């Protein structure tokens, strides 16, 4: 039998090419599947890492907001303690506030220049909100100083703290549509109960030796003014620098207080300083602690709602209560200690709910980081079609 050698060579070459192609296709499929598997594992690791980083950032942001809220109240009370010492010496509330406003502008202007922030280029909406906020807060501070002088630091702070968590969430709900939840109501009820026990107002207990109805009225006006300022701060643009808020607070305060300082002051400030040089240190304390209060309070409002921040700032009542005892030698009674404990409890409950809400929101947001596609197949099930030549 004679073989056709060209035909046999062609058949042998074709069979060899087919077997080699199948082996290469099989190897290509295996390599591609292995690469996709590794890619999927790497992607999952990146997603898990992204979720973990997002969770940590969200958690620590909430902790920062709560801490700044508590700290702002303490700083506010310390600043007011120094202010009350000045008032007891003979300064008028208007003089103390004017010095504070002047210092705010002097401190803030170099910071604005360093940060290249142009006040004139701030949005019209933010400018109007800052003007309303500053005028309301400065008016509230002025009334607060008069209230402190009339009924004492503890009682005045009690009424202010009672008014803030009532009016601030109410205004926020009306004007910027913030939600008011059940636990906010519980914290407010506990807070007001503690305030009543500490302040022991005459219209409830009837055993207060010295009281002033006008002092309580001043304190309520303070609460309303600070609540309006709180809502204005929440309504401002997120990217607005806090230096702008502090500048407007000082600038508008100067304009308002320059009008009121002469008709409301008995002695000029340059006459009192030589007689009481210690007031220089008091005024420095007023300025420094108020500046820190403005920064921490408004920074907390960028993180948490107005209702939560005002409740967390209840720490000013505790510090004010301690200042009454240590600095102004006020006698302590058991009802005041119980009231302080109740206020601490209300803030603790609020912190617990903030933590629970943070976890819930965090779980919902981390689920949105990665959503599996409907028709996506695992790496070992992906079909690879090899091309044969």
Three-state SS letters, 74-88:
HHHHHHHHHHHHHHH
Any idea of the CA torsion for 235, 240, 243, 245, to the nearest 10 degrees? -20
Residue found under tokens 């630091």: 153
Share of the chain above pLDDT 90, in %: 22
- Do the beta carbons of residue 231 and residue 132 sit within 8 Å? no
181 CB burial (10 A radius; 0-12, 13-18, 19+): middle
Q: What is the pLDDT of residue 367?
A: 59
Q: CB–CB of 171/224 below 8 Å?
A: no
Extract the tokens encoding 299: 């920074």
What lies within 8 Å, CB to CB, of 373 at 6+ separation is none
Position 387 confidence tier, pLDDT thresholds 50, 70, 90: very low
To the nearest 10°, the Cα dihedral for 108, 112, 114, 115? 130
End-to-end CA distance of the chain: 34
Measured between alpha carbons, how far is 307 from 210 in angstroms, rounded to an integer?
A: 32
Residue 296 reports pLDDT greater than 70: yes
Of the candidates 23, 55, 112, the one whose C-alpha atom is nearest the C-alpha of residue 369 is: 55
For the chain, the domains span 78-365
- Does this model's pTM top 0.75? My answer is no
Find, among 110, 382, 138, the residue nearest to 257 by Cα: 138
Per-residue pLDDT, 362: 62
Predicted confidence (pLDDT) at residue 58 exceeds the cutoff of 70: no
């Amino acid at each position: 039998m004679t073989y056709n050698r060209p035909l046999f060579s062609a058949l042998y070459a074709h069979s060899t090419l087919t077997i080699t192609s199948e082996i290469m296709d099989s190897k290509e499929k295996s390599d591609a599947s292995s690469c996709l598997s590794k890619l999927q594992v790497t992607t999952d690791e990146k997603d898990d890492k992204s979720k973990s980083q997002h969770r940590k950032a969200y958690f620590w942001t909430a902790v920062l907001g709560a801490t700044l809220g508590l700290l702002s109240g303490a700083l506010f009370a310390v600043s007011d303690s120094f202010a009350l010492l000045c008032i007891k010496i003979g300064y008028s509330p208007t003089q103390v506030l004017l010095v504070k406003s002047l210092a705010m502008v002097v401190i803030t202007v170099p910071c604005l220049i360093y940060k290249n922030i142009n006040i004139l280029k701030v949005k019209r909406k933010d400018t109007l909100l800052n003007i309303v906020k500053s005028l309301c807060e400065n008016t509230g501070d002025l009334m607060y100083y008069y209230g402190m002088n009339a009924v004492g630091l503890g009682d005045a702070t009690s009424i202010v703290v009672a008014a803030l968590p009532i009016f601030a969430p109410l205004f926020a709900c009306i004007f910027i549509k913030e939600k008011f939840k059940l636990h906010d109501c519980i914290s407010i009820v506990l807070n007001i109960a503690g305030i009543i026990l500490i302040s022991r107002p005459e219209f409830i207990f009837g055993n207060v030796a010295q009281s002033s109805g006008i002092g309580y009225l001043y304190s309520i006006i303070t609460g309303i003014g600070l609540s309006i300022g709180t809502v204005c701060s929440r309504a401002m643009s997120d990217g607005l620098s806090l230096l702008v808020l502090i500048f407007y607070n000082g600038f508008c305060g100067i304009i308002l207080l320059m009008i009121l300082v002469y008709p409301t002051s008995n002695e000029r400030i340059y006459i009192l300083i030589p007689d009481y040089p210690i007031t220089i240190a008091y005024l420095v304390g007023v300025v420094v602690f108020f500046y820190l209060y403005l920064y921490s309070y408004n920074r907390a409002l960028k993180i948490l709602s107005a209702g939560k921040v005002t409740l967390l700032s209840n720490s000013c009542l505790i510090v004010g209560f301690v200042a009454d005892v240590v600095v102004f030698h006020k006698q302590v009674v058991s009802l005041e200690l119980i009231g302080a404990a109740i206020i601490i409890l209300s803030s603790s409950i609020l912190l617990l709910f903030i933590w629970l809400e943070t976890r819930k929101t965090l779980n919902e947001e981390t689920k949105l980081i990665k959503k599996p596609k409907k028709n996506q197949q695992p790496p070992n099930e992906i079909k690879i079609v090899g091309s044969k030549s």
